[in-house]
Structure 1
Amino acid sequence: MDWTHLASAILLGMLIVATWLASIAQANERTQKSQEDAAFIERLIGQMTLEEKADQLTQLSVLTIPTGPIEDANDPKKIGTSKAGSLLGAYGAENTRRLQHEAVQGSRLHIPQLFSFDVIHGFRTIFPVPLAEASAWDPYLSQRTARAAAVEATASGLHWTFAPMVDIARDSRWGRVIEGAGEDPFLGAALAASRVRGFRGEGPPDTSSILSTAKHFVAYGAAEGGLDYNISDLSERTLEEVYLTPFRAAVEAGVDTIMPGFNEVDSMPMHANRKLLKQKLRDEWDFQGVVVSDWAGIRELIPHGVASVPREAARLALNATVDIDMVSGDYNAELPALVRSGQLSQDAIDGAVRRVLQAKQRLGLFDDPYRYSDPTREKTQLLQPPTRALAREAAQKSIVLLKNDDALLPLSKNLRKLVVVGALANDGVSSLGSWSADGRASESITVLEGIKRAVSPMTEVVYVPAASPGSTDISGIEEVQRAVVDADVIVAALGETADMSGEARSRTSLGLPGAQDALVAQLIKTGKPVVVVLMNGRPLAIPTVDEHVPAILEAWFLGTEMGHAVADVLFGDVNPSGKLPITFPRTVGQVPIYLARKNTGRPPSGTNAYASSYIDSKWTALYPFGHGLSYTTFTYGTPRLSKQRLAFDETLTVQVDVQNSGQRAGEETVQLYLRQDVASITRPVRMLRGFSKVRLAPGESTTVSFLLDQDDWALLNHDLLRFVESGIFTVFIGGTSATDNQAKFEVITSAQLTGPGSAIPRTLRD
């Protein structure tokens, strides 16, 4: 007998048993802790008066508020900070520690508050606006930037952010396009899940974990006319297939809270929409977290026309399971009387209070109300070099090269004279974009500064503001002609100021605002090489720029490190790799315009006048979804399929060879689209069902693989049930949605599917 092997086997067995016993002990410990936590919350609820419960469901704001009927109710000094379960807009470790002390000591039961803020794309270090970051097509990048934002925000005493915004937006007139991931539910779901995970991090008890909020539930981005706060009139099918998808992905990823939109769906405002909030979100999706109103969204049920007085608005909202009333003060004022009169059940208010207290408990605030308010930690976490480096990386990856005729870009750093024009080039505020939290313009790098830092000391950089997006004054344009006489290249920063995109920033025109069209005309007349750097929070309709300017970079609003990132791409230190997450129209008359359109019975062909097209413009996009060039070129092979025919429950592997056929290293986002050619209901011309980023050296090739299954070829049938129908499918693979590189396969069996399937793309599932 080999005693050595026997002893090793015995030791291994003992280790396995010990590990098993330890795991059982840990599981029992977790169960016991969970039971103790639940019992604590129930005891606390049992001790609370109706007024104290209403306080927990009230959120006050310490921000400057607009004048109006809710001003007095919203004044924290009038109500008292201890009369609210959460505060909006209070941050800073010392400040939140003081406010928490007032709340804990000022309330009978010593219940701590939650401190919330709109940390949308960074806190002190500002990352690219969400639409820009979506151009990176990089879920892991979005997770990393959300994690970094959470670290900074929680170091300043915050517990809760109202992000990510996951609204699908297909009408660029709507200003809040800037806050989301664009037009596509597949890409939107991927980024929603990643940002939720980033905000959470390792989760409590880690004090860098921040509560996340998926907003604005639901179809807020489908506002009629692109007009903010407007109604959303859409079919239940479109709601299910498009607008609900990223919210379900956020719920699957563990989002903590949900915020209803200001819109209505099917004639019911979302803040009173029990069908969608209670039946869909809570009952069908099993969402156990908090639902928080948007700013005064409950009071606004009155102008919507479904309530006549604040008491009725409060009753409708709580019955729809809206747990927290942001700033209107109506829950604080009305809920106790509604319960006492029998118009609201005790269970309804207790359920809302329970969810709010559980959120505080998960963060460990009952154990230590001040654990997020550490001044020492705050001093070491804000605007640190690694975070700025991440901001620069994110900004680089968010830039989209729209056009580059004759390889004008990248520019040489040794130019003799470079003229920079446009007021935006030196606008540090606009570099940050909207919702810039605690970001400071003084700490951001403008495009002009980035260019000056990047070029050779021998290069003369001349700056001419020339024209502003906010003014029609053309007097400064004359200076351009004089400045560029001996210039080698002109770089023009054009687009929108930061306050032209965002909430309440709808536009009826998508052209260049102010005097910028006149500036473009002058630049074209000079005959000099022109590079346009677009700064904007929505797709712009720029056919003249596209026709006459040889090189165009879509730079969006890139945050703290914008200038560095733009210069990195302009001068070739970084090869651009961004792809559009939203379609660019030729004219505002085309919107809404998006990839996943239906074919119609008379699809546009260019030859038939009686087709779905325009008589005064091309029907196609100026730049399609997924478009983005590189300083190198990529060549695709024909897609290879693991099977030509398969049953509904089998998987399909799709492979494609990609080669860098250019002269420099580059990164490419390989995109897979799918179409069912014939079905019992009409299907989109193509739908995004996969994407993968690859980095290749010159001449290098790789094989990219995608795995498809029943979630990819399922549809909602006439009864809105998930169903796989047999038939022919076409798969498209390329570097843009406009690719015609395709292969076909057949699903030979049909079946109704059980369950909703996963909204999170396969590559991101745990």
Structure 2
Amino acid sequence: KGLQRDYQVASTAKHFIAYSNNKGAREGMARVDPQMSPREIENIHVYPWVKVIKEGGLLGVMSSYNDYDGFPIQSSYYWLTTRLRKEMKFKGYVVSDSDAVEYLHSKHGTSKDMKESVRQAVEAGLNVRCTFRSPDSYVLPLRELVEEGSISMETINERVRDILRVKFMVGLFDMPYQMDLRQADVEVNSIKNQEIALQASRESIVLLKNENNTLPLSVNDMKKISVCGPNANDAAYALTHYGPLAVEVTSVLQGIEDKVGKSNVLYTKGCDIVDANWPESEIMSYPLTEEEKVEIEKAVQNAKKSDVAIVVLGGNNRTCGENKSRSSLDLPGRQLDLLQAVYNTGTPVVLVLIHGRPNSINWADKYIPAILEAWYPGSQGGTAIADVLFGDYNPGGKLTVTVPKSVGQIPFNFPSKPNSQVDGGSQVGLKGNMSRVNGALYPFGYGLSYTTFDYSDLEVFPKVATGKQNITIRFKIKNTGNSAGDEVVQLYTRDVLSSVTTYEKNLRGFERIHLDPREEKELEFVLTPNDLSLLNKHNEWIVEPGEFRIMVGSSSEDIRLEATFHIRDIFDYMFETVINVTSDSVLYKVLDNNEETKRKGKSG
């Protein structure tokens, strides 16, 4: 909705569908054989597409490289036409991922050559082929197919019609050429947009740990601050081939120096992102080289002279990006060696993570008192991180992923089925019966703040309803701390008893709110029948009668309020309600008792 406001541009969502989660996690250039059941595909992967198409009016879809259940998506009429256009009512264009068309013959082996691949893709529903190279890679084979009657002009007209429809919608025929080219230099990376980027960076930072209120740091109390780590003075994360390449980037080091003064900061790199033997060093231990020992020792000496040591670790485009699956989720290279050495000085340590995927930082979580998760924080990231470190901004971000303790737990994601994290053993050690570490390092939706929030006064109505009614949830949240801050309130549901297994928690709403100290607000969420539906054994989306649990909290595991309501079969509900009431009253109560309808005096 944001990108397509007033249809200035067409937004293209990717990748459709069942993308990633490939067997053996060997994603790379393969992207084949995703290991997901049909029901998981519908609940997790199809669900957001339905939402963005029906509610957001999405105009572009990129078809994916992968197959599903033996059928390449790029040549699947079922996925690109039956499901996407006929069921989801998609009215835009389908563009292939870069080489998805030729992969039909060069990778999947379901086509004999490029010409046959073009035929399969176009007939399946492809409108535009991405990565145009030369006419013989797409256009000439397509012309031959039309001339020989293998693809009808009716099909060509349908594919072109989809493209033209979008072009008309975004006004390309009203104003096909840009007449004021200088305006781009005024608009792109303007001061106003930089301010928005800075606020986005601030809001995305997640506080993972803050033992004994280590953060925020006091500028006045810090005489010397040591900064080290391969990401401390590196801005490469913000300059990638899928992002901006010509913007000024503020590193974490610069952001700290701007905050406290350069003379108060001691900096050394400490180590590189990876070592000389990486990635083999992820599965085999190599001794530190003399050069590595020297650089880590510099960081140690700086830490000993400082009031606090800020260590900035993680990854960059060497360790994370397209075609870059890893064999481990641990910090790469010598980063853990650096962190442990600095910690052993006794100087308080703050860990800042900059990376594109979660790392299993078990040692850091146990011993480092304060940890910030910054992801790739954008060109203003260094300023945003410094604002959080020194209390000029109170972090309120939440994790949108589950962080596992070990790569051996993968696949590990939210939502999960009942009891999926239950292990038979509970005792550790030689005489114990526990065989694996269980649970997430950090759960979905997790994130701390410099203040505290209290949840109260949960109301759910109606308590008994039919599968055609909305359910309203109201509650209050209060900032009980001394600092203003943001809380991302999360609403989860569970179908307690169902004909097929359902997830333990379904995220059905969230809202980020800002509260001053002692300020209290009342929030309201409305659950629609669609929010309560499940895909039954007949592959029908229905709302089953029974008990539903409402859970409101600060994360998927930090649940603060709970309540239940019941869905009744409409005929049972009518039979119970009909006693001693008029037929009009029955109809009113059974078919619709929503507050909105009640105010308008309507029913049905």
Same fold per superposition (TM over 0.5): yes
- Structure 2 CA distance for aligned equivalents of residues 238 and 513 of structure 1: 32
Is structure 2 residue 168 aligned with structure 1 residue 357? no
Q: 1:606 to 1:643 in 2, by over 3 A?
A: farther
How far, CA to CA, are the matches of 2:455 and 2:216 in structure 1? 24
Corresponding residue number in structure 2 for 1:377: 183
One of 442, 447, 458 as aligned partner of 1:623: 442
Is the CA contact 1:433–1:498 (under 8 Å) kept in the aligned structure 2?
no
Number of aligned residue pairs:
543
* Residues 1:362 and 1:316: Cα distance change in structure 2 (over 3 Å): same
Whole-angstrom distance in 2 between the partners of 1:605 and 1:531: 36
Structure-1 residue corresponding to 2:116: 312
The Cα offsets for residues 2-56 of structure 1, whole Å up to 9 and x where unpaired, read as xxxxxxxxxxxxxxxxxxxxxxxxxxxxxxxxxxxxxxxxxxxxxxxxxxxxxxx
Query: Are 2:213 and 1:407 equivalent residues in the alignment?
Result: yes
User: Does residue 332 of structure 2 align to residue 513 of structure 1?
Assistant: yes
1:214 counterpart SS class: strand
Q: Deviations over 1:596-650 (max 9, x none)?
A: 11115994476599xxxx9444311000001000001112226322232222222
Alignment of 1:586-597 (within 5 A): 586-597=405-416
| Cα distance in 2 for residues equivalent to 1:632 and 1:644 | 34
**Partners of 1:635 and 1:659 within 8 A in 2:** yes
In 2, Cα distance between the equivalents of 1:558 and 1:310? 41
| Structure 1 residue 657: Cα displacement | 2.1
Q: Secondary structure at the match of 2:201?
A: helix
Aligned partners of 2:270 and 2:35: how far apart in 1?
Answer: 43
1:386 equivalenced with 2:185 (yes/no)? no
Q: Secondary structure at the match of 1:663?
A: coil
- 1:536 and 2:346 aligned: no
Q: Are the counterparts in 1 of residues 209 and 372 from structure 2 also a CA contact under 8 Å?
A: yes
Tell me how far apart the structure 2 counterparts of residues 434 and 202 of structure 1 sit (CA, whole Å).
29
Contact 1:568 1:574 survives alignment (8 Å): yes
Q: Aligned partners of 1:420, 1:492: CA distance in 2, in Å?
A: 6
Distance in 1, Cα, partners of 2:415 & 2:174: 50
- 1:227 is displaced (CA, Å) by 2.8
Aligned pair in 2 of structure 1 residues 656, 595: CA closer, same or farther (>3 Å)? same
1:479 matched to 2:278? The reply is no
Alignment partner, residue 743 of structure 1: 563
- 1:295 maps onto 2:98 in alignment: yes
Q: Is residue 43 of structure 2 the alignment partner of residue 241 of structure 1?
A: yes
Corresponding residue of 2:285: none
How many angstroms apart in 2 are the aligned matches of 1:730 and 1:535? 37
- 2:65 alignment counterpart: 262
C-alpha distance in 2 between matches for 1:651 and 1:748: 13
Query: Which of 317, 322, 328 in structure 1 is aligned with 2:126?
Result: 322
Give CA-to-partner distance per residue, 1:689-716, whole Å, 9 cap, x none. Answer: 1112222122222222211231121111
Alignment equivalent of 2:149, drawn from 342, 357, 369: 342
> Which amino acid in structure 2 is aligned with residue 210 of structure 1?
V
Q: Take 1:435 and 1:745, find their aligned partners in 2: how far apart are those partners?
A: 50
Moved more, 636-645 or 563-572: 636-645
Per-residue CA deviation, residues 65-104 of structure 1 (Å, 9 max, x unaligned), is xxxxxxxxxxxxxxxxxxxxxxxxxxxxxxxxxxxxxxxx
Q: Which residue of structure 2 lines up, in the alignment, with residue 211 of structure 1?
A: 10
- Kept in 2: contact 1:576–1:631 (CA 8 A): yes
Instruction: Look up the match of 1:421.
Output: 228
**Which of the residues 59, 71, 83 maps onto 1:280?**
83
2:303 and 2:342 in contact (8 A); partners too: no
Contact 2:421 2:439 in 1 (8 A): no
Q: Which residues in structure 2 correspond to 1:618-697 (within 5 Å)?
A: 618-637=437-456, 639-697=458-516
**Separation (CA, whole Å) in 2 of partners of 1:232 and 1:354:** 33
User: What do the CA deviations read for 1:386-431 (whole angstroms, capped 9, x no partner)?
Assistant: 000000000000000000000000001121000000121111112x
Where does the alignment leave 5 or more consecutive residues of structure 1 unmatched?
1-196, 204-208, 752-766
Counterpart of 2:283?
none
Q: Could you give the per-residue CA deviations for residues 557-611 of structure 1, whole angstroms, max 9, x where no partner exists?
A: 11110111001100000000000000001111111112311115994476599xx
Q: Do the aligned residues in 2 keep the contact of 1:417 with 1:487 (CA within 8 Å)?
A: yes
SS of alignment partner, residue 287 of structure 1: coil
Of 442, 452, 458 in structure 1, the residue corresponding to residue 257 of structure 2 is 452
Q: Does 1:575 align with 2:377?
A: no
| 1:251 positional shift | 1.5
Question: Structure 2: how far apart are the matches of 1:664 and 1:256?
Answer: 43
Code of the residue aligned with 1:412 in structure 2: it is S
DSSP 3-state at the match of 1:500: coil
| Residue aligning to 2:269 | 465
1:222 aligns with 2:31: no
- SS of aligned partner of 1:526: coil
Identity of aligned residues (%): 35
Are the structure 2 counterparts of residues 673 and 362 from structure 1 closer, same or farther at C-alpha, using a change threshold of 3 Å?
closer
Cα offset, 1:315, TM superposition: 0.6
Unaligned runs of 5+ in 2: 277-288, 572-604
Deviation at 1:677, TM superposition (A): 1.0
Q: Distance in 1 between matches of 2:548 and 2:193?
A: 45
Residue 547 of structure 2 aligns with an amino acid whose one-letter code is I
Q: Contact 1:433–1:557 at 8 Å: present in 2 too?
A: no
Residue 122 of structure 2 aligns with an amino acid whose one-letter code is L
Distance in 2 between the 1:699 and 1:341 partners? 75
Aligned to 1:139: none
| Structure with more contact order per residue of length (Cα contacts < 8 Å, sep ≥ 6) | 1
Q: Distance in 2 between matches of 1:652 and 1:286?
A: 27
2:583 alignment partner in structure 1: none
Contact 2:421-2:438 within 8 A present in 1 as well: no
Cα offset, 1:471, TM superposition? 2.3
Structure 2 counterpart SS, 1:703: strand
Q: Relative to structure 1, is the Cα distance of residues 750 and 322 closer, same or farther in structure 2, using a 3 angstrom cutoff? A: farther
Report the AA paired with residue 336 of structure 1: R
1:211-263 Cα distance to aligned partner (Å, 9 max, x none): 21011000113323333223224222211111012222222212221111111
- Deviation (angstroms), 1:323: 1.2
Match of 2:602 in 1: none
Quick one: distance in 2 between partners of 1:366 and 1:690?
A: 39
Summarize the Cα distance change of 1:644–1:365 in structure 2 as closer, same or farther, 3 Å threshold: closer
| Partner SS state of residue 669, structure 1 | strand
Preserved CA contact (<8 Å) 2:314 2:355: yes
Q: TM-score, normalised by structure 2?
A: 0.86
Contact 2:63 2:74 in 1 (8 A): yes
More helix by share: 1
In structure 1, how many angstroms separate the alpha carbons of the residues matched to 2:464 and 2:167? 53
Q: Distance in 2 between matches of 1:616 and 1:446?
A: 43
Contact 2:426 2:434 in 1 (8 A): no
Partners of 2:494 and 2:506 within 8 A in 1:
yes
